[in-house]
Amino acid sequence: MKNAAIFFVGPYMLLAAMSAFFLYRICGRFAEHKESRWARILLFGTFLLTSTMVVWIGDNNFALMLPFYLTAFYLATKGNRLGRLTVGGIFFCLITALCSITDSYLIPVVGYGVSRALRPAAFGLLYLLFFRQIQKPAVHLPNRLWRLCAGLTLLSVVTLSVLILPTYWMEGYSRANDLSMLQGAFILPLTILVSVMILFSILILDDYERKAQAATLSQMREFYYQNLQKEQRQIRTLRHDLRNHLNTVRGLLKEGQEERAEKYLEALTESPALQKSRRVCENEIVNVVLASKAEEMEERGIHLDLKISLPPQLLLADTDLCALLGNALDNAMEGAEKSQDKKIFLRCKEEYGMFMLLLRNSWAGDGEPDLSTTKEDKFLHGFGLPGMREITSRYGGVLEAGPKENFFELVVNIPLK
């Protein structure tokens, strides 16, 4: 009897571990687990228990498991909060629908052992379907897109609840059970299909966002290099005409026209070629962003007081650094423009293994400031505090923002691992 139990439990646990492995690997593309060992164990264990769950149509295991599953999934992952809950909900619907098919429909036909073996086989096919995507970094979507995916996921959760749970409270009503079984034959496969389609939709949205960020960064770089070329042309022109300028000044001095010579020199020193270059630090991306924003601030009449000390390379993605700094400045400009004293104070440096950003802007002080941009294209401009907070939290950093006496302050600290 003991040997028979070991023989049964051994293959059963192996099949369960296979299912958990496939789900764990697929999940890594959609939700990034925390770095600690306990988080990885928790996430793997969550998939292990869920993929072995008994789910009959008319069983309450679905409702009992959902809160514990989402809590464990949330604690084991990091990044956007709504995104983690959404991804967790998608996988729960996928797992539950498959388990319900094997338990409610296949056990009476092929037996318990074969139906249990079909679970890892199905998850293995899903693994092969996403195999090319698994090696890529985890998706990072803005909150507005996660809300869209969360709505679709909630619809699947409600649909499964309506299908599985009602007959639990109507025990003995064979017609209700027969109707649920008939509906489940269509709804459960459809739920699996919809869950897979939502996952692929997330990948498509993530690819679009990355390309949009790259395009924005490319546009900023092009603007920056055009400014550099313009400055170089101005310098070459000034250098070419320098002898003529000096001869003119010398001629005025010989004629005793010192006042005209002084005015001529003042006009010459105000030449754009002799103005201070916009290159503020060794980091190219920061120079690109500030070159773009500084010109816009000049047009708006906003004074920028900045001091940047950053190395050529940072352990932050260029697109994230561009989005974080660019959107922070966009929001600061909108706040400063509404005030009488149009000023922005910016300090940014890398020190003690931390990326530190301090941004202050004057504001009118009439109530709480609007932390989201008013521009139509929110991606190319400010996307508000939630977007910046998502970038910061993704790297394990801290963002604090709020109004002070007569200015608004944003502080960002990100550990550079």
Are 176 and 282 part of one and the same domain?
Answer: no
What is the CATH classification number for the domain harbouring 289? Answer: 3.30.565.10
Please state the separation of Cα 347 from the chain's center in Å.
Answer: 24
Domain ends where: 198, 214, 230?
214
221 domain residue, yes or no: no
The rounded distance, in Å, linking the Cα atoms of 155 and 157 is 6
Smallest CA-to-CA distance from 346 within 301, 306, 303 is with 306
104 domain residue, yes or no: yes
- Cβ neighbours of residue 157 closer than 8 Å, sequence gap 6 or more: 66, 89, 92, 93
Q: Exposed (0-12), middle (13-18) or buried (19+): which is 388, by Cβ within 10 Å? A: buried
Please state the separation of Cα 247 from the chain's center in Å.
Answer: 60
Task: Give the structural domain span for 71.
Answer: 2-214
pLDDT at 1: 43
Are 328 and 417 part of one and the same domain?
Answer: yes
Query: Residues 93-113: pLDDT tens digits?
Result: 999 999 999 988 888 888 877
Instruction: State percent of the chain over pLDDT 70.
Output: 79
Any idea which of 139-143, 159-163, 240-244 has the lowest mean pLDDT? 240-244
Any idea which of 55-64, 88-97, 194-203 has the lowest mean pLDDT? 55-64
Residue, of 302 and 367, whose pLDDT is higher: 302
User: At 268, phi and psi to the nearest 5?
Assistant: -70, -40
Are 305 and 173 part of one and the same domain?
Answer: no
pLDDT at 381: 37
Are 70 and 197 part of one and the same domain?
Answer: yes
Query: Residues 122-153: pLDDT tens digits?
Result: 999 999 999 988 888 888 888 888 999 999 99
Residue, of 125 and 416, whose pLDDT is higher: 125
Are 26 and 128 part of one and the same domain?
Answer: yes
The number of domains in the chain is 2
Domain ends where: 194, 214, 234?
214
pLDDT greater than 70 at residue 76: yes
Query: Residues 337-352: pLDDT tens digits?
Result: 888 888 999 999 998 8
pLDDT greater than 80 at residue 286: yes
Are 202 and 316 part of one and the same domain?
Answer: no
Smallest CA-to-CA distance from 207 within 150, 155, 124, 145 is with 145
Residues forming beta bridges with residue 48, ordered by sequence position: none
Query: Residues 363-393: pLDDT tens digits?
Result: 776 555 444 444 444 433 335 677 788 788 8
Cβ(20)–Cβ(35) below 8 Å? no
The rounded distance, in Å, linking the Cα atoms of 85 and 67 is 11
The rounded distance, in Å, linking the Cα atoms of 15 and 20 is 9
262 domain residue, yes or no: no
pLDDT greater than 80 at residue 165: no
374 domain residue, yes or no: yes
pLDDT greater than 70 at residue 2: no
Are 188 and 312 part of one and the same domain?
Answer: no
252 domain residue, yes or no: no
Are 163 and 66 part of one and the same domain?
Answer: yes
206 domain residue, yes or no: yes
223 domain residue, yes or no: no
At 137, which amino acid appears?
A: P
pLDDT greater than 70 at residue 238: no
